């Protein structure tokens, strides 16, 4: 079972997701025992043109514990690569694949500001594997994050079959929410509903809503904070995201503090959430979830982040045909 590249979430079917889930859970057990799967002889290039903590670090951890050789790694590619000299993405990937003695034994993990950057790499990578670690904004995706989201839910809520998923925050610019919107219906064929909760100027993009409509997935949009408690009462999975200040326009930036707390999860608002709900967050967070929530048993975002390593391990096995 293999996928040469991981560029978007639309290509993942339920059977593949369950296979990945089983493999990730096996890796998690092996990590505790110290008996990790080794895929020696394979190499990785990590090209991050944007800041990253969890995605970058978890891929490095996964590559390292699996015995891969990390031949090039940077989180400042936008400043230190020849892109600053005008080099195209096509030429960049040609160079990296050209260095590999066996191109099919190399994976390039890329994060970029441009939507479609990973696809451009894949179009010119030959037999080398490309993993999209988050590219673009309002039209981009972050498929490895949404894989983590779904596989983590499979582990912690194994009986969840027909969930109502509520996504909160900057849904206009957040590529994680976009990817999860695509993947949720594949992970849960009985998906009951998706609630999109955001300030009106940061609502989910039209293409996602059209996709859900085309596949008969019910969804609602909430922009009034007074309706937030009612939405929480109907929620099985609460997916919180931060307001992305770096992507706001002038007037929005002036209202940043107000936007951050418009749909805040705190000790009061969490009381409306069902007792068996799961609270996830791709992180980092700002003020959308207060630290006072962290001790609540439904707050699973730090456990979610930790699970990234076994999920990345399964993801790497998938592209190399070793799942």
Q: What is the mean pLDDT of the chain?
A: 93
Helix/strand/coil for 303? helix
What mean pLDDT do residues 32-55 have? 87
Neighbours of 32 (CB within 10 A): 8
Helix/strand/coil for 295? coil
The question of whether 55 is a catalytic residue gets the answer yes
**pLDDT reading at 32 higher than 90:** no
Q: Which of 3, 54, 192, 209 is catalytic?
A: 54
pLDDT at position 2, please?
60
Percent of the chain with pLDDT over 70: 99
Domain residue spans of the chain: 14-141+306-319, 145-304
What mean pLDDT do residues 260-274 have? 96
pLDDT at position 245, please?
78
Q: Which of 23, 142, 178, 281 is catalytic?
A: 142
139 or 173, which is more confident? 173
**pLDDT reading at 260 higher than 90:** no
Do 178 and 208 form a contact (C-beta atoms < 8 A)? yes
Q: Does 14-141+306-319 match 145-304 in CATH topology? A: yes
Do 128 and 107 form a contact (C-beta atoms < 8 A)? yes
pLDDT at position 1, please?
55
Tell which residue, 318, 322, 311, has the closest CA to residue 149: 311
The question of whether 209 is a catalytic residue gets the answer no
Q: Cα separations (Å) of 15 from 1, 19, 41, 183?
A: 11, 6, 29, 13
pLDDT at position 254, please?
80
In DSSP notation, 233-291 reads HT-SEEEE----GGG--HHHHHTHHHHHTTT-B-TTGGGGS-TT-EEE--S--SSSB-G
Q: How would you classify the pairing of strands 164-168 and 237-240?
A: parallel
Q: Which of 55, 97, 144, 241 is catalytic?
A: 55
Do 26 and 89 form a contact (C-beta atoms < 8 A)? no
**Helices of type H across the chain:** 14-33, 54-65, 77-80, 89-99, 117-123, 143-156, 175-187, 206-214, 228-233, 250-254, 256-260, 301-306, 308-319
Cα dihedral 72, 76, 79, 83 sign: positive
pTM comes to: 0.94
pLDDT at position 22, please?
97
* 145-304 maps to CATH 3.40.50.1370: yes
Q: Which of 96, 111, 178, 312 is catalytic?
A: 111
State pLDDT tens for residues 171-206.
999 999 999 999 999 999 999 999 999 999 999 999
Tell which residue, 283, 303, 297, 299, has the closest CA to residue 134: 283
CA distance 25 to 54: 19
pLDDT at position 74, please?
87
pLDDT at position 61, please?
95
Backbone dihedral region of 40: left (phi > 0), alpha (psi from -120 to 50 degrees) or beta? beta
Band the pLDDT of 247: cuts 50, 70, 90.
Answer: confident
CATH top class, domain 14-141+306-319: alpha beta
The question of whether 85 is a catalytic residue gets the answer yes
């Amino acid at each position: 079972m293999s996928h040469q590249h991981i560029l978007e979430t639309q290509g993942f079917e339920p059977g593949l997701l369950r296979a990945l889930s089983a493999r990730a859970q096996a890796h998690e057990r092996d990590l505790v025992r110290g008996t990790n799967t080794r895929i020696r002889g394979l190499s990785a290039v990590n090209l991050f043109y944007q800041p990253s903590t969890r995605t970058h670090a978890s891929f490095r951890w996964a590559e390292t514990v699996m015995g891969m050789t990390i031949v090039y790694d940077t989180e400042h590619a936008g400043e230190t690569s020849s892109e600053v000299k005008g080099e195209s993405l096509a030429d960049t990937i040609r160079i990296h694949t050209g260095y590999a003695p066996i191109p099919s034994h190399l994976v390039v993990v890329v994060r970029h500001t441009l939507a479609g950057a990973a696809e451009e790499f894949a179009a010119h990578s030959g037999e080398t594997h490309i993993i999209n670690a988050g590219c673009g904004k309002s039209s981009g995706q972050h498929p490895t994050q949404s894989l983590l989201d779904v596989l983590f839910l499979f582990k912690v809520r194994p009986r969840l079959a027909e969930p109502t998923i509520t996504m909160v925050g900057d849904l206009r610019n957040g590529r994680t929410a976009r990817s999860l919107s695509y993947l949720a219906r594949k992970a849960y064929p009985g998906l009951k509903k998706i609630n999109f909760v955001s300030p009106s100027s940061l609502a989910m993009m039209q293409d996602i809503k059209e996709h859900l409509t085309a596949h008969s997935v019910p969804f609602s949009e909430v922009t009034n904070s007074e309706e937030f408690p009612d939405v929480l009462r109907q929620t099985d999975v609460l997916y919180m995201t931060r307001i992305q200040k770096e992507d706001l326009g002038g007037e929005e930036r002036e209202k940043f503090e107000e936007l951050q707390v418009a749909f805040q999860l705190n000790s009061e608002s969490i009381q409306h959430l069902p007792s068996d709900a799961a609270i996830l967050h791709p992180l980092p967070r700002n003020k959308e979830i207060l630290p006072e929530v962290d001790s609540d048993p439904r707050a699973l975002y730090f456990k979610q982040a930790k699970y990234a390593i076994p999920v990345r391990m399964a993801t790497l096995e998938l592209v190399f045909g070793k799942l």
